[in-house]
Amino acid sequence: MSPLYFSVGPQHSGSGHLRMKIELQGDIILNAEPDPGFVHRGTEKIAETREYQQNVPMIERQCLPDVSSVSLAYAMAIEELLGIEIPPRAQFIRIIMCELSRIMSHLYWLSIMGIFLGHSTMFMWPFGDRDIFIDIAEKITGSRVSYTYIVPGGIRYDLPDKIKEQTIKTLDYFQGRLKEYDAIFLSNPIFERRTKGVGVLSQTDAINLGVTGPTLRGSGVRGDIRKGIPYSSYDQLDLEIPVFTEGDSYARSMVRFKEMEISSSIIRHALDNLPDGDFAVKTRKKVPEGEALSRVEAARGELACYIMSDGTSKPYRLKMSTPSFRNLPGFSLMKGSMLADMPTIYWSLDYWPPDADR
Partner 1 sequence: MNIVNNIENVLNNIQIVELRQLLLFVFGVLRSELFFKIIFFPGIFTILITVSELIWLERKFLAKMQLRVGPQYAGRIGGILQPIADFVKLLFKEAIIPEKADKKFFQIVPILLVVLATTTLTVIPISETAVISNLDVSLLFTFAILAIFPILTLLAGWASNSKYPFLGGIRALFQQVSYEVPLWFSTLGVVLLAESLNFVSIVKAQSSFWYILLLPLGALTFIVSMIAELERIPFDVPEAESEIVMGWMTEYSGMNFGLIMLSLYTKLYFASAMFTALFLGGWLGPSILSPSFWFLTKTLIVALIIIMLRGVLPRVRLSDLLNIGWRRLLIFSLISIVWAVMVKLFLLGVF
- Residues within the interface to partner 1 (CB under 8 A): 4, 6, 12-14, 24, 27, 114-125, 128, 184-185, 188, 190-191, 193-194, 338-343
CA-CA-CA-CA dihedral for 100, 70, 235, 260, to nearest 10: 30
- Residue closer to partner 1, measured from CB, 254 or 271: 254
Cα separations (Å) of 276 from 90, 96, 98, 161, 273?
Answer: 9, 15, 19, 14, 9
Neighbours of 75 (CB within 10 A): 25
Residue 151 is given by DSSP the state E
Provide the minimum distance between the beta carbon of 191 and partner 1 in the complex, in angstroms, as a whole number: 6
CB 35, min distance to partner 1, A: 17
Query: Which of these, 175, 329, 333, lies nearest to 260 by C-alpha position?
Result: 175
Closest to 262 in 3D by CA, of 311, 309, 297: 297
What one-letter code names the amino acid at 288? P
Instruction: State in angstroms the smallest separation of the CB of 349 from partner 1.
Output: 14
DSSP 86-117: --HHHHHHHHHHHHHHHHHHHHHHHHHHHHHT
Contact indicator for 69, 213 with CB cutoff of 8 Å: no
| Nearest-approach distance from CB 116 to partner 1, in angstroms | 4
Rank residues 54 and 120 by Cβ distance to partner 1 and give the closer one. 120
Nearer to partner 1, 59 or 117 (CB): 117
Q: How far is the CB of 263 from partner 1 (least distance, A)?
A: 23
Give residue 348's Cα distance to chain centre: 13
Q: 46 or 134: whose CB is closer to partner 1?
A: 134
Phi, psi angle pair for 193, to nearest 5°: -65, -35
| Min CB(190)–partner 1 separation in Å | 5
Report the alpha-carbon distance of residue 225 to residue 38 in Å, rounded: 29
Per-residue CA distances from 331 to 22, 113, 268 (Å): 11, 16, 36
By beta-carbon proximity to partner 1, the closer residue of 27 and 48 is 27
Residue closer to partner 1 (CB basis): 26 or 210: 26
Closer by beta carbon to partner 1, 123 or else 352: 123
What is the sign, positive or negative, of the torsion defined by CA atoms of 237, 274, 76, 70?
Answer: positive
Secondary structure (3-state) at 291 = strand
Q: Please, what is the minimum distance in Å from the beta carbon of residue 162 to partner 1?
A: 26
Least Å from the CB of residue 119 to partner 1? 4
Our CB check for partner 1 shows the closer of 52 and 125 to be 125
